Every structure is written in C-alpha cells, then in structure tokens.
C-alpha cells in the first residue's frame, strides 16, 4: 500500500502545472523562478494501519474558515499591536469546539527574505510576509490544520513556503500545499488526510482531474476521512455566484470549482473546503458529502479588502459520520472589524448570504440553511420506482437510487 501512495505522489509531482502564479493585482510583475536547489523535499504519505473502529462508531466535527493573514512586515510594517494577541480571541471558542480546525494561510510565515514578485509602488504591494512567531496566534485560536496552496504561499518563493511549513510543523499544525505535501494524522480514532489544491505553480494541480482522482482515491483507501482544500475562482464582491465553468481573473485561468469538487467527491473526498474569491459562496451536498465553494476571508489584518461582503468571516462547523457522510452543520457568522479581527455577527449576514447563494446556485441540492446558519438535510420522499438518472448543472450524472445527492 505504501508503494501505491508513493506512486500516486510521484505522478502528482510530475504532472504539476508549470505556469507561474499570477499576482492578485496587475501592478505586480511576473514571478521569478526559484532554483530547484532551494526546494526542500516533500514528505511521502505514511502507511497507516487499517481503521481500528467500526465506520459508524464515531463522529467527527470540523470547523473551517477561509483566508487567514495576520499582518505583514513587507514592504512596510503592517503588523498588529502586541503581535495580534487578541486578534482571534472572539472566535476561538467556536474553533476549539471542533475536533479539526482548518484555515487557509494566505501568505508566508517567514523572518526576512526577499520576494520573488516585484511591486511598482509600496502602496499597491500585495506581498505577505508574517513573522514566524505569529504562528502562536494560530495555536492559541486552536488551528490544527492549514492549507498552503494559494497564490500568496510563494510570495517569497518556495523558500517562503518552506519557512511556513517549518513554522506550522514546529507548532504542531498539520499542513498541505506544495506538491507531495499531504497531511495524515489520527483524530478520535479516525485516520485523517488533508490535501490542498490550487492552480498555481508548485501546488497540487486541480486542472489535472485524472491525477487528482488517483491521489484522492489512494488517500481514501488508507484513511477514514479525506479533506480536500481548493483555492480556486475569480476574486471580488461581484463573483459570489458559481459560473459552472472555468473562471478567469486578470487573464489567468482559476479553474472550474464545481467540476473539480465533484471529481474530488467521486474519488473519495468527504469534505471539500473552498477559498480564494475573498467572498462567501454557496454550499452543496453532493453524494452525501458537503462542498463549501468559498468561505471568503476570515482574518486578514491588512492588505486585503474587507469592505462590505468581503468582510464577512463565516465559520463552518460540520459533523461527519465515521465514514465521512454529512450529518449536520452550522454556519457561525462573523465579520472582520479592523483592527479587532473577526467578531461574532448578531445579524447573521454570512449565513444569510450563503443560504441565498445556495438556493440560487444549487436549487436541487438536498441541503437547507436556516437564517441562523443551521445546516440540515431536506426530507425527501423516496420511491422504489424512482431509479432514473438526472444531471446537475455541471453535467455530472446523479444516481437517484442511493440518496438525494447521488
């Protein structure tokens, strides 16, 4: 089995997209390639023993958020006072109530170093370098899993991503991002895998669906729960709706999120967590697995717009069965208020927006979202004679014989 995992990891590494990442803003220039000698080796996924508990014996809770950027000291000092000591305090109890606490680290955890992108002016410079000591804020908030697959993970080259990986590992936080960097650990008797995808150089490539399917299927063979992270989609307040097609941003193909997420679930993913557009997007229940197409921004201290819906900071908490099936969930609404960080929102704006987008973009999904953010499965009457095939908006066939979402 170890051989199979290693072979899959090798295929993933060889088939990665070689196109360098485009910047968030047109003011940034083309990225400079980093010599291979600077890259640190990527660990292989370890072989783990077969599950020791019956699949239905335990449930698992996962709290997930979108983009996290705790301040930057480049090109100028935009770090919070007291090293952000209270930046996440208001939402920490929600995060810590789950078994797995996931976020997307947007930038690098790095002390010093030079960027591989160039800014025309310091006022329009979207390069993020957070000192490594700030990893303690993630620990304090309860995070134990992070994605490093995004368009800012390599602002300071692969050396920057290596620095982020080292800081997270030292803090006991699992991570995935670079090709071959796949997290594998045990929680409450369940074997967990996390693999992160993004359409940027050096990351697992979501455009290569065949390789992604192979990698996810191999992980599912060795784990009870497989979590897939995807940093995909265009950016901005006007891109809340799914396009059911490839999305282009500043001339760059940011991928087809629906096609990728469906392929991931079909291959064995139990939860797909999206981020990248900087705004919340719809949820979908597909084949009994939950897909969050974008959780937007969560705690982006400076350098990222948080006006209007860009400032919504939802926390998605999901309960999964031991075999990965969706059981229930809750969207906890928060909103960023600089310089205080994300604060609970009594108006539940994030939950209401996600509920509206879900109803509009996926009207046939068997998921309901209350105005307060409660996620439940719709009660759908089944019939023995109802054995027809239907198709969702992305063109994927749905088998009505097994469940409302299959």
- pLDDT score recorded for residue 126: 85
- What secondary structure letter does DSSP report for 349? H
pLDDT digits 0-9 by tens, 34-47 = 332 333 333 444 44
Calpha distance 278→290 (Å, rounded): 20
What is the fold, at CATH topology level, of the domain defined by 2-362? Purple Acid Phosphatase; chain A, domain 2 (3.60.21)
- pLDDT score recorded for residue 380: 59
Calpha distance 93→90 (Å, rounded): 7
Q: Please state the rounded mean pLDDT for residues 105-122.
A: 86
pLDDT digits 0-9 by tens, 215-273 = 999 999 999 999 999 999 999 999 999 999 999 999 999 999 999 999 999 999 999 99
Distance of CA 234 to the CA centre of its chain: 15
Residue 78, SS3 per DSSP: strand
For residue 331, which phi and psi values (nearest 5 degrees)? -100, 115
Calpha distance 69→85 (Å, rounded): 14
Task: Check pLDDT > 60 for residue 305.
Answer: yes
Contact between 174 and 223 (Cβ < 8 Å)? no
Q: Which token pair is 162?
A: 């290596």
pLDDT digits 0-9 by tens, 317-367 = 999 999 999 999 999 999 999 999 999 999 999 999 999 999 999 999 999
Domain ranges of the chain: 2-362
- Full-prediction pTM beyond 0.85? no
- What secondary structure letter does DSSP report for 30? P
Calpha distance 293→239 (Å, rounded): 12
């Amino acid at each position: 089995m170890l051989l199979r995992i290693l072979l899959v990891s090798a295929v993933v590494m060889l088939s990665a997209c070689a196109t360098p990442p485009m910047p968030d803003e047109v003011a940034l220039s083309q990225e400079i390639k980093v010599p291979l000698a600077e890259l640190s080796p990527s660990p292989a996924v370890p072989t783990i023993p077969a599950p020791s508990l019956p699949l239905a014996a335990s449930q698992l809770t996962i709290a997930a958020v979108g983009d996290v950027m705790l301040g930057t000291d480049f090109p100028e000092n935009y770090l919070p006072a007291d090293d952000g000591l209270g930046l996440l305090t208001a939402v920490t109890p929600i995060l810590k109530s789950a078994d797995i606490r996931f976020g997307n680290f947007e930038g690098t955890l790095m002390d010093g170093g030079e960027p591989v992108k160039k800014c025309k002016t310091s006022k329009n410079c979207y390069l993020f370098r957070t000192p490594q000591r700030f990893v303690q804020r993630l620990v304090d908030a309860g995070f134990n899993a992070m994605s490093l697959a995004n368009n800012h993970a390599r602002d300071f080259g692969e050396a920057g991503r290596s620095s982020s990986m080292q800081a997270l590992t030292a803090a006991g936080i699992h991570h995935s991002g670079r090709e071959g960097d796949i997290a594998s650990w045990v929680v409450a008797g369940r074997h967990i895998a996390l693999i992160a995808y993004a359409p940027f150089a050096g990351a697992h490539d979501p455009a290569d669906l065949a390789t992604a399917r192979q990698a996810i299927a191999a992980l599912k063979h060795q784990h009870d729960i497989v979590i897939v992270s995807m940093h995909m989609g265009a950016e901005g307040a006007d891109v809340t709706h799914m396009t059911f097609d490839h999305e282009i941003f500043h001339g760059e193909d940011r991928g087809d999120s629906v096609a990728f997420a469906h392929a991931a679930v079909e291959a064995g993913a139990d939860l797909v967590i999206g981020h990248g557009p900087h705004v919340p997007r719809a949820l979908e229940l597909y084949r009994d697995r939950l897909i969050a197409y974008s959780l937007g921004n969560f705690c982006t201290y400076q350098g990222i717009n948080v006006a209007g819906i860009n400032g919504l900071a939802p926390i998605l908490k999901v309960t999964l069965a031991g075999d990965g099936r969706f059981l229930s969930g809750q969207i906890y609404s928060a909103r960023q208020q600089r310089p205080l960080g994300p604060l609970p929102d009594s108006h539940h704006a994030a939950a209401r927006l996600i509920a509206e987008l879900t109803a509009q973009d996926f009207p046939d999904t068997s998921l309901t979202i209350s105005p307060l953010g409660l996620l439940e499965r719709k009660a759908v009457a089944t019939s023995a004679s109802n054995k027809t095939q239907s198709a969702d908006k992305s063109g994927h066939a749905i088998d009505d014989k097994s469940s409302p979402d299959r």
